[in-house]
């Protein structure tokens, strides 16, 4: 039946019901005029898994399918981007029609080196601003850089537990400047040993475009040979405004935890040259608060209070102790003593958990 409400009233109602999609869908069934107006709310997210792809792709390729312009968020799970798969068949290439997608999640993806059909797929994602790649496999590390460079409007990149053939140290200097013209936020959920040089190359390639870096736990295992060097150079990232280490530890106090070391964190911070840094966050996991005195926090305090970081407005220090030694309030005062310069500037925020 025709709608008795003016279009602007319909839009207001639909916006209000956005969180309740089931109710919104029922309303759309009652009045056909609401269907088109509801599309952005009902189908703005599209999930495609390997087991559902054989059924989904024929539907998406139907001449009657009109959802392409309305999909804003695409989630692809366990897809093998090879010519013999459904995704890469002539029907599967219809993904290039998803030109409105702004958020793309690729989970369990297998991506061959320089695949022309893969390039055709990526050509449809010119508006992607948020890219997350999890548990995926690339042929080589260089292909990761080529892949990321295919998104000209990228603003946020999340990498988590990806793998590829190990390459030698010579690959560390193969990065080229990325084509993006927008600031980039980089979040590393889980970077293992053989991914270190990819991180190195990304930091180098993004250069001044990188405004935020977050190392998530665990960043990588400690057992890294000298040729892979723990040092990650932030010297080229001169526009960094935020730097965060979600979890770091110490061999002596956290021997059973796969955490990057405090020593590695200090070496990484020592390469920082950005005069735009506004926020620094670190989470330390320790066996007890007394061990903080052996972690070089005085050196961290000295570095953060360098005149170069005059814009620094917030230093967050989260401490997780594996032993119950103090009450939270006493512990916070004890911890603050290790960063006296930041505490004196009134930019230090301390939290404590057991």
In this model, does residue 222 exceed pLDDT 70?
Answer: no
In this model, does residue 150 exceed pLDDT 70?
Answer: yes
pLDDT tens, 235-292? 989 999 999 988 877 655 445 556 677 888 888 899 999 999 999 999 888 877 777 7
Of residues 60 and 130, more confidently modeled? 130
- Res 188: pLDDT: 82
Q: What is the pTM of this model?
A: 0.78
In this model, does residue 221 exceed pLDDT 80?
Answer: no
pLDDT tens, 125-137? 888 999 998 888 8
- Res 192: pLDDT: 63
In this model, does residue 147 exceed pLDDT 90?
Answer: no
- Res 195: pLDDT: 66
- Res 349: pLDDT: 92
Please report, for residues 64, 87, 90, the alpha-carbon distance to residue 57 in angstroms, rounded to integers and kept in the order given.
13, 8, 10
- Res 17: pLDDT: 59
In sequence order, which residues have a C-beta less than 8 Å from that of residue 292 and are 6 or more positions away? Answer: 284, 286, 319, 335, 338
pLDDT confidence tier of residue 64, bands split at 50, 70 and 90 = low
- Res 86: pLDDT: 47
In this model, does residue 228 exceed pLDDT 50?
Answer: no
Q: Which two tokens stand for residue 113?
A: 């080196």
SS3 state at 68: helix
Q: Which two tokens stand for residue 314?
A: 């917030």
Of residues 84 and 152, more confidently modeled? 152
- Res 139: pLDDT: 75
Q: 61-67 contacts: CB < 8 A, separation 24 or more?
A: 61/91, 61/94, 66/39, 67/39, 67/43
* Percent above pLDDT 90 for the chain: 20
CA distance 49 to 56: 9
Are the beta carbons of 232 and 271 closer than 8 angstroms?
yes
Sign of CA dihedral 261, 333, 318, 304: negative
CA distance 162 to 18: 34
Residue in 344, 345, 341, 339 with CA at minimum distance from that of residue 284: 339
């Amino acid at each position: 039946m025709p709608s008795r409400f003016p279009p602007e009233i319909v839009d207001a109602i639909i916006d209000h019901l956005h969180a309740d999609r089931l109710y919104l869908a029922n309303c759309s069934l009652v009045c056909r005029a609401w269907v088109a107006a509801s599309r952005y709310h009902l189908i703005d997210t599209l999930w495609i898994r390997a087991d559902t792809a054989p059924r989904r792709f024929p539907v998406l390729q139907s001449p009657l399918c009109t959802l392409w312009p309305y999909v804003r968020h695409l989630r692809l799970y366990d897809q093998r981007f090879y010519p013999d798969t459904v995704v890469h068949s002539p029907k599967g290439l219809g993904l290039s029609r998803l030109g409105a997608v702004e958020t793309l999640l690729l989970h369990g993806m297998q991506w061959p080196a320089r695949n022309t059909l893969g390039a055709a797929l990526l050509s449809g994602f010119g508006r992607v601003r948020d890219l997350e790649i999890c548990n995926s496999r690339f042929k080589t590390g260089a292909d990761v850089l080529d892949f990321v460079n295919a998104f000209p409007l990228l603003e946020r990149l999340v990498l988590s537990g990806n793998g590829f053939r190990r390459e030698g140290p010579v690959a560390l200097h193969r990065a080229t400047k990325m084509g993006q013209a927008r600031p980039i936020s980089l979040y590393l959920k889980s970077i293992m040993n053989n991914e270190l040089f990819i991180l190195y190359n990304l930091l180098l390639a993004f250069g001044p475009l990188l405004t935020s870096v977050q190392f998530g736990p665990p960043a990588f295992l400690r057992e890294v040979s000298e040729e892979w060097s723990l040092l990650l150079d932030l010297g080229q990232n001169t526009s960094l405004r935020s730097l965060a280490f979600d979890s770091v530890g110490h061999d002596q106090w956290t021997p059973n935890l796969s955490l990057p070391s405090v020593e590695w964190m200090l070496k990484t911070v020592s390469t920082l040259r950005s005069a735009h840094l506004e926020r620094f966050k670190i989470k330390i996991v320790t066996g007890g608060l007394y061990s903080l005195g052996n972690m070089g926090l005085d050196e961290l305090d000295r570095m953060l209070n360098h005149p170069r970081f005059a814009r620094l407005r917030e230093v967050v220090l989260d401490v997780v102790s594996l032993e119950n030694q103090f009450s939270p309030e006493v512990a916070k005062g004890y911890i603050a003593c290790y960063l006296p310069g930041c505490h004196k500037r009134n930019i230090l925020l301390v939290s404590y958990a057991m």
